[in-house]
Amino acid sequence: MAIRTANAKWNGTLKEGNGKMNFSNYSGPYTFKSRFEEGDGTNPEELAGAAIAGCYSMFLAALISGENLTPERVETSAKVYLERDDVGPVITTIELNTQVKCEGLSHDKFDELAAAAKEKCPISRLYASAEKKLEAKLI
């Protein structure tokens, strides 16, 4: 299987410092403000959201394809909730919202496959400690 790499560099203190995250064709800045407040740049939680949205979409497409159907489109967004517990900041909840267009897919089968993808995609499994909520719509 594949091994992927990414790296991040942080300079300075937590609140006044800044960093840069790099992977594949992406290189972007991040700061305290972009993570915990509102500021320019990205943050690990946005990247986690992009990771699970992408993984979920591909996994659901694979499950639909396994039913001998061809999905025209699987579009997923993710909201990642960064909260605080007694240890510190923690991702508590990830809300997935997906819309699928696939001719011939019944609503019952769609609901079954959408739920299976939520539990079984590799990134969802990685984030097992976070509650995952799913709103799935067959269009």
Q: Are 118 and 125 in contact (CB under 8 A)?
A: no
Q: Are 56 and 118 in contact (CB under 8 A)?
A: yes
d(Cα 51, Cα 24) in Å, to the nearest integer? Answer: 13
- Residues 64-74, mean pLDDT to the nearest whole number: 97
How does pLDDT run across 42-64, given as a tens digit for each residue?
999 999 999 999 999 999 999 99
User: Looking at domain 44-138, which of 3.40.50.10090, 3.40.50.150, 3.40.50.300, 3.30.300.20 is its CATH number?
Assistant: 3.30.300.20
Domain ranges of the chain: 8-36, 44-138
d(Cα 112, Cα 52) in Å, to the nearest integer? Answer: 19
How does pLDDT run across 94-127, given as a tens digit for each residue?
999 999 999 999 999 999 999 999 999 999 999 9
